[in-house]
Structure 1
Amino acid sequence: MIFIENEDVTNPHLNLALEEYILRNFSVENDYLLFYVNEPSIIIGRNQNTLEEINHEYVEQNNIHVVRRVSGGGAVYHDFGNLNFSFITNHDVKSLNNFKKFTAPVIKVLNNLGLNAELKGRNDILIDEKKISGTAQFSTGKRMVSHGTLLFDTDLGEVVNALNVKMSKIQSKGHKSVRSRVANISEFLREPLTIETFRTLLLEGLYEESEPFETYRLTADEWKAVHQLKEEKYDTWDWNYGKSPKFNIQRNKRFAIGEIDLRIFVDKGLIKEFKVYGDFFGKEPVETLENLLQETRYEKENITEILKDVNLKEYFGDIDEEDFINLVYGDDE
């Protein structure tokens, strides 16, 4: 395992570009660990409709960054009290969506601090039934990133202010508000710690789980390439917001694997636009599926025929094909 020093960068656009650059360009002979802290920002899941996840007016007024990441899952709020970790490893079918494998060493460190931490639900770390971390994954097919947030001393009021939380999420978790479901790690510590000290303790604990770590600092040329990726992708409106599709049909349902929100534009019986949003985790990009259904007759028989040889689990996780087709065509009520 090699620890990548991010040189105290707090710009989320640059940190996410750094993470992707390591994923796609660093040697496959090694595993990598990256820590970073971001300025106030909302990090959007790959498949989400940005404008429906954020309180746009509040975000604009408070100069909060909005950046889309490459992995699936839901939107999260970052600030200087939030520590982010990222494991970059070779792709492994058994490791994809296996959040337990990558959160286990983090949970062990938290437990060693006297905290009752455990993995629950799809991808959350909880302490005493309060969420203090969410995790997500992305795979290129050869390499994968497993990353997560650790709420150490985040302004939880800003989580509510900056994010528009959908009622389906609140109802599905059986709680009345986001604030009642999340907490800071600092609230549970017996002795106060700074986030810098916490980061050091976490790193030392992770060292114990592996062979001795090597620390690596990027070269000037590598940082130049990271900045180029930031400018060409993570700074752009197209990546972070994306063009909202024209639609006349909206279908939305929460499954065990997450929420799927479909926007379909049908003209003269043909699907002209098909867009998939949601906080699900999948290996393959949903754009492939969206393109597959373009110009298809909006009839269940035709949709079923086109999807019959498609492995939907590659796009969404463990979902039943019939359930998805019923969602597309509207027979799921």
Structure 2
Amino acid sequence: MPSNALKVTRLVFSGLSALSPTLAGKAAFHLFCLTPSRRPKGQKARAVHAEGEARLKGAERIALSFDGGQAFAYRWNGGAMGPRRRYLVLHGWGSSIAYMTDLVLSLAETGAEVVALDFPGHGRAPGRFLNMRLAVAAIAAAQSRFGRFDATIGHSFGGASTMVSVAGLLPEVTAVAADRMVVIGSPSEMLYLFTSFGKMIGLRAPAQAALEAEVGRVTGRRLEEFDAGAAAGALGKPVLVVHAEDDKEVSADHARAYAAAGDHVRMFWANGFGHRRIVSAEPVLSAIREFLDERTPAEQMKERPQIAEAPIETEARRAS
């Protein structure tokens, strides 16, 4: 947030906190959930985004509506193509699938069916608002539309969201039944985000408590219950944690919290690739493909034939 805007915001919330902590907490939650501009920042980001958008033209495109919002899905290797694995790819906060096409296409080249989501308020999905409940509902909508996923791969907020989803942490939202999870540069818990946000905008203690209470009201879970590291331990399913110690947005301590969950959690340190370049680094792509290619006996028993379905139009098909 620009310094002048932050000064004004802090002044507003200081006054609002004194007037009504509850109102200040609700307003702070709304501000926290507002999604940033979708326009790429900087020449390099614009080039990566343009290249990604060009690659996405070859995918099937599906709008996914659910209670409370709408996501946008891209699919590769869909339709009646015989038995194959199915993967779900999720981006981070303020990003979109256009920035993750290196990863998506790397997975599609294995012959797997790959579904990639733009969360509400990101990419081609409408809206300007996203929270954990909306993200998990979008993931559930993807499972309802495409069927069971063999694995989920999520970057940053997307990784945390998929852990919350697979663990079934949100009441009344269907859990995703993936066998394997990959989390890339992802936070292991959410309390620190809201604590840092509250300090940034100058919330007083009662207003901070109201902000955290609003999270519980919206999601059905107390903020401290959003512990993806503990969820990874309770699930006992294979997890690959990819992180860079030079990540300036999500501390490597979060990766270590995941790794402490048990022997079923594997670490891959991608030092030197930071928070964003990590999703396109070849060593990372190779490690993810290798991890997804493995199968436990239990996973082998769950292999299933694909149900034939009519392909969905792509832009290229419509233009021909």
Q: TM-score, normalised by structure 2?
A: 0.26
Question: Higher helix fraction: Structure 1 or Structure 2?
Answer: 2
Q: Structure 1-normalised TM-score?
A: 0.26
